[in-house]
Amino acid sequence: MSDRDAEPGADPGADRGAGPGADTPGPAGLPGPARKIAAGYAFSGPALGLGALLWDGACHADAPVRVPLAALNRHGLVAGATGTGKTKTLQLIAEQSSAQGVPVFLADIKGDLSGIARPGQENERVRQRSGEVGRRWTPAGFPAEFYALGGLGHGIPVRATVTSFGPVLLSKVLGLNQTQEQSLGLIFHYADTKGLELIDLKDLRAVVAFLTSDEGKPELMGIGGLSAATAGVILRSLTVFEAQGMADFFGEPEFDTAGFLRTADDGRGVVSVLELPAVQDRPRLFSTFLMWLLADLFHDLPEIGDADRPKLVFFFDEAHLLFNGASKAFLDSITQTVRLIRSKGVGVFFVTQTPKDVPADVLGQLGNRVQHALRAFTPDDGKALRATVRTFPRSPYDLEELLTGLGTGEAVVTVLGETGAPTPVAATRLRAPESLMSPLDPAELDDAVRASPLHDRYAQAVDRVSAYEKLSAAAVQAPPPAAPRERPAKEEPTLVEQVVGSGMFKSLARSVGTQLGREITRSLFGTARRRR
């Protein structure tokens, strides 16, 4: 089979492992250290081709640099200064993963990844790069779905219910401190146990308002001594959050992350692109929503152990935004999610500028590294450069000099080999993506969204009866207070008890579409799915 032959559904540009016609290192013309590096990337199984080895200023097309397909769920880091080619690296890895039947999730912060759905356009730079790395370039588009948070922007709306989003992630979005985060957790627990569904923000606001009212204060004291002052802070934060136009991100129909795990009819993995340009000025919101998507996958997927290929490769762009200002509980949950989701077949690649943007406990779990150029214009830049060098295995390169001298589309690479050991550090000239390296026209993007089989399922928001409506109805139906008299406290039903015991509530519980009667299970971050 030639290097342009492919299995059904596979991209001709994907590396299929050693064998006739496959990329294999040709060490004969390389000096000793470079031969050893090249031999470290001679894998026998399916692999993704990243590019060709750079040594002593020359690009060696006969020494390909690759990453085993089976190693993608060992997570990774794509880092580098602005303008060094990180986005094209994402596109390159995504299209090759898709070609080998692996679905991919991409967060498109700047709006320039939608072109992955269309074949690229050949030009002189593409021809030159292809010749340098020894790969014939053939334009190819890949099956793609486009999503948008809350429907803001071009894409199928992605929403989460407040109950599912959970208190830890919501605290991050609202900018709550640790004490307020713990208090919000108590409020969620109260709503869970009382059967008050938190579908959208007005539901949560209604529950908090009730707990701070005269009728609800006894309930407030009964769930752990939550102070009325802290509940008031949470209520004000929610009000400000809604006033900023962010209520649309919460509601129903809630997005089912199993939709990311699809393959096309031809066997290629679907590339799910979350379009974020419309919300890029709300980094705390979109970065936390990305974590919810990942936590939801963790919550739902079964354990599969080590597999020959991942179920999904998840690219977490602008990863530093996730960690900025994060509470200890939030960071602990991220660390545990990354540590455990590997055995569920999901590989996570964090994309940021330097490794120091990622906490050490998370960084230590990222086995695959593609480090683009760094700049050292300031003392802080110099510290970041030296810290980055210390995260790589020993190598014959002068990494400080190399990392500041790499050109656009070049990177320092080390991955986990087929035995699980890190490969030698390899300076690499990366291949050019074969899909379009520019965004789709907005009209074309809208047509693609409307043509999706998922569009009708998620396009229209649904506002069904939940905590807000139940508490509002109960307040209207509550009988007027009786004349003051001595009476045991246990005989005085609270407002919520009146709701739960009312015929209206029992009728709702039996109605089609209500979630009551299902068990709420909370996972990492306090995220939840209601289980039938």
pLDDT in tens, 40-80: 999 999 999 999 999 998 999 999 999 999 999 999 999 99
User: What does the DSSP 8-state code read for residue 397?
Assistant: S
Which pLDDT value is given to residue 302? Answer: 93
* Amino acid symbol at 481: P
| pLDDT tens figures, 231-244 | 889 989 998 888 88
Q: Measured between alpha carbons, how far is 173 from 240 in angstroms, rounded to an integer?
A: 12
Using only the alpha carbons of the chain, give its radius of gyration.
26
Return the amino acid letter for 5.
D
Band (199; pLDDT cuts 50, 70, 90): very high
| Residue 487: per-residue pLDDT | 45
**Mean pLDDT of the region 493-521:** 41
Please tell me the predicted confidence (pLDDT) of residue 242. Answer: 86
CATH number of 66-156+259-452: 3.40.50.300
pTM above 0.95, yes or no: no
Using CA atoms, how far apart are residues 327 and 177, in angstroms rounded to an integer?
Answer: 8
Higher-pLDDT residue of 133, 522: 133
pLDDT band of 159, cuts 50, 70, 90:
very high
- The region that residue 225 occupies, defined by phi over 0 for left and psi between -120 and 50 for alpha, beta otherwise, is left
DSSP for 487-527?
--GGGS--HHHHHHHSHHHHHHHHSTT--TTSEEEE-GGG-
Res 532 pLDDT > 70:
no
Question: What's the rounded Cα separation, in Å, for the pair 20 and 18?
Answer: 7
Host H or E run for residue 129: helix 124-133
Element (H, E) at 213: none
Cα Dmax for the chain = 99
Please state the separation of Cα 340 from the chain's center in Å.
15
pLDDT score at 31? 79
What tokens were used for 119?
Answer: 């074949």
Residue 472 pLDDT level (bands cut at 50, 70, 90): confident
The span from the CA of 211 to the CA of 181, in Å, is: 16
Is residue 253 predicted with pLDDT exceeding 90? yes
Vertex 70 angle, CA 52 and 334, to 5°: 105
Please state which of the ranges 127-136, 324-333, 418-427, 435-444 shows the lowest mean pLDDT: 324-333
Helix/strand/coil (H/E/C) assignment for every residue in 66-100: EEEHHHHHHCEEEECCCCCCHHHHHHHHHHHHHHC
With a cut of 70, say whether residue 27 has pLDDT above it. Answer: no
Nearest one of 489, 525, 452 to 147, comparing CA atoms: 452
**Percentages helix, strand, coil for the chain, rounded to the nearest 5?**
40, 15, 40
Rounded to an integer, the average pLDDT of 184-207 is 90
Question: Between these two residues, 458 and 241, which has the higher pLDDT value?
Answer: 458
Residue 412 has what pLDDT? 97
Lowest mean pLDDT among 7-21, 163-177, 345-359: 7-21
Domain residue limits, the chain? 66-156+259-452, 162-250+473-478+487-531
Binned at pLDDT 50, 70 and 90, residue 520 comes out as low
**Alpha-helical regions (H) of 151-245:** 162-165, 167-174, 178-194, 201-211, 217-221, 228-243
Question: Could you give the CA distance from residue 13 to residue 50 in angstroms, rounded to a whole number?
Answer: 11
Q: Are residues 369 and 65 in contact, defined by beta-carbon separation less than 8 angstroms?
A: no
- Tell me what percent of the residues of the chain surpass a pLDDT of 70: 83
C-beta separation of 89 from 411 below 8 A: yes
Spatial CB neighbours of 93, under 8 Å, sequence gap ≥ 6: 48, 50, 67, 78, 313, 315, 349
State the average pLDDT over residues 201-219: 86
Q: Identify whether the C-beta of residue 21 lies closer than 8 Å to the C-beta of residue 3.
A: yes
